[in-house]
Homo-oligomer: A and B are copies of this chain.
Amino acid sequence: MDQLLRYFQRELPAINGFLDKESDQLNGLVKDVAKHIIGSGGKRIRPMLTLLFARALGYEKDDFHAIACSLELLHSATLLHDDYLDDAELRRGKEAAHIVFGRTETILAGDALLALANEMGARYGIARLSWLLAKGIMETAEGEIEEISFSKNPSLDRKIYMDIIIGKTARLIECACRCGAALAGATPEQEDAAGEFGLNLGIAFQLVDDALDYASPTSETGKPEGGDLKEGKVTLPLILLMEEGDKAGVDVLLEALKEKSFTETQLSEVLTLVREGRYSEKTRDEAAVYVEKAKACLSGFQPGEELEVLKQAADFVLTRTK
């Protein structure tokens, strides 16, 4: 992981500086909200992937920050709206923006960040970049909506679950990778390979996220343990548990999820069952399959620092503990 760490350490200051400079231009009403969410310790995986694919495909100019950072801003925009609509209290261990700044400021900051992201991607005058970004925005919005729609009518349908994590997470990571390739003027095949890498990595990333929700103490993830469960979100650890349960037990669980009517006793029972059945670990095992698929997409890329870092990034997604 040494190369990954060094690469991130080298590139992150400029990425964070760029995000800072762009959010400084926003209206005073929403600037602090934007800075709150941007500064809340995201991993900057999306901008780094754009940069890595651009360079892996021979891009040598230094003007990649606008498109790379646009993906981070888009991601931040969805977090703002999501946390508000979920009534979430925490984001990465800090108070959620809508609690600190209020609903108007938070909704509008989300709108402003989405608009800014889109504008940053259009600065290059490259139609392909704008198309990729537009599609990424559309798919992310759809994923967000599917997730909330699913939470109103939860089931243990794996297909729906996969559609949701692809929509809300993996498509934007795919988009980040494709944008890097498109910036470098890649062939369609090269862009597709980058996109496939991102899609699989994004799925793995979300699976690990969903596993961590059942596995980690609050202090490390910044989220309350079993937070998804409390919010009525059905994720893979819970689906795995339910797949092995009897019908009556599953129906009771689904009803409680739908109504968000868990008692503390029910909650801790479910958490114990997930722990005993090792469903968090089993979710990680499924993620491992997608990480391997992602790495296989890199076979056609030239050896070099970026290729190494991309491989290490894929492994890191799997092993991360927060």
Contacts and interface: CB of A to CB of B under 8 A. Distances in A.
Interface of A: 27-30, 81, 84-85, 103-104, 107-108, 110-112, 114-116, 118-119, 121-128, 130-131, 133-135, 137-138, 140-142, 144-146, 148-149, 152
A102 B296 CA distance: 45
A118 B138 contact: yes
B146 A27 contact: yes
A172 B302 CA distance: 45
A145 B103 CA distance: 13
Given A111-B81, A111-B141, A127-B130, A149 B27 contact: yes
B30 A108 contact: no
Contacts of A84: 107
Copies of this subunit: 2
Contact of A134 (B27, B119, B145): B119
The SS class assigned to the A binding surface is helix
Contact of A149 (B29, B124, B128): B29
Given A118-B134, A122-B135, 14 more contacts: A27-B142, A29-B149, A81-B111, A104-B148, A108-B145, A111-B114, A115-B141, A115-B142, A119-B135, A122-B131, A125-B127, A125-B128, A125-B131, A130-B131
A71 to B, nearest CB: 14
Given A85-B107, A111-B141, A141-B111, A134 B149 contact: no
A288 to B, nearest CB: 31
A149 B123 CA distance: 28
B112 A85 contact: no
Nearest to A167: B27
Contact of A111 (B119, B126, B144, B146): B144
Nearest to A140: B115
Contact of A108 (B28, B115, B130, B148): B148
Given A81-B111, A104-B85, A127-B127, A29 B145 contact: yes
A149 B118 contact: no
A144 B114 CA distance: 14
A63 to B, nearest CB: 15
A118 B137 contact: yes
Contacts of A138: 115-116, 118-119
Nearest to A143: B27
5 contacts: A29-B148, A81-B107, A104-B148, A107-B107, A114-B141
Contacts of A30: 145
A277 B131 CA distance: 52
A66 to B, nearest CB: 11
A30 to B, nearest CB: 6
Nearest to A85: B104
A107 B119 CA distance: 21
Q: Which 10 A-B pairs have the closest CB atoms?
A: A130-B130, A122-B134, A115-B141, A29-B149, A127-B127, A119-B134, A115-B138, A122-B131, A27-B145, A125-B127
